[in-house]
Amino acid sequence: MTGTLTDTAVDVEGLTVRFRSKRSDTTALDDVSLRVAAGEFVSIVGPSGCGKSTLLKVVAGLVRPSSGSVSLLGEPVTGPQRDIGFAFQRAALLEWRGVRKNILLQAEMRGMDKARAARRADELIELTGLAGFEKALPHELSGGMQQRVALCRALLHEPPVLLMDEPFGALDALTREQLNAELNRIWRETGTTILLVTHSIAEAVFLGTRVVVMSPRPGRLMRTLSVDLPAERDYAQVMTDSRFGELTREIRQLLGSVESH
């Protein structure tokens, strides 16, 4: 595994999650172990329903494990975690609040110092290319810009760990590529540890330092691949890199092999 006890941001050991109802019992995750070092960017891919999102929710303390353990920054996860950031597929912005006020909603909910939050919001607005749109309402923004606002909101309190659940899944291909490049730059500049769930193999490889490939439900870790590409990534260069092609083909073959059984 990558990382040691002192520099490990996320440590998942023997994680199993079962959901029980009157009609049936479903095992979402089965004996999953994953260690993520501080500053890593780990992409998680797998078939629909394999437990990718459940894994993020367990790390966030929103779902309890049936067995196994999860630690965040060296502390056991026993309930909802305040120190993380979470970005979802939908931006979920408040329609009556402008860009800056939507970002600062995080500060209000956390009781952050107002001056510090305001400075941080301005930094993030500049970092994500939202300068000039501070007062724009959500309906005046494109889908990509709305996701930039949601990302700023998730990063406002400077979380050491950012969890991302298909944040760009609903966007068109060109906007998605632009935001991938933006996210790569933000990750490099902030040093935030990121766990990204995605259905896009190309996105997983472009962004990740490692890619975790999961099996169909019950979700297990089939393979972890190291992405030996430069930290700073340009789409035109990466897409023509032979290693990028090798990695995407390998992941596609892994997922194809489980779908054919």
CB 124 within 8 A of CB 192: no
Determine the pLDDT at residue 261.
Answer: 42
Phi, psi values for residue 214, rounded to 5°: -105, 155
The H or E element containing residue 12 is strand 8-20
Domain count, the chain: 2
Q: Is residue 2 part of a domain?
A: no
Q: What is the pTM of this model?
A: 0.89
CB 44 within 8 A of CB 196: yes
CB 11 within 8 A of CB 76: no
Q: Which domain holds residue 216?
A: 8-84+159-259
* Helix pair 143-155, 114-127: axis angle to 10 deg: 140
pLDDT at 149 over 50: yes
79-98: average pLDDT: 88
Phi, psi values for residue 234, rounded to 5°: -110, 130
Q: Is residue 199 part of a domain?
A: yes
pLDDT at 163 over 70: yes
Domain boundary among 158, 183, 212: 158
Query: Which tens digits make up the pLDDT trace of 197-251?
Result: 999 999 999 999 999 999 998 899 999 999 999 999 988 888 889 999 999 999 9
Q: How far is CA 40 from CA 103, 106, 161, 192, in A?
A: 25, 24, 10, 8
Residue 178 and residue 96 share a domain: no
The residue behind tokens 């990302």 is 151
58-69: average pLDDT: 94
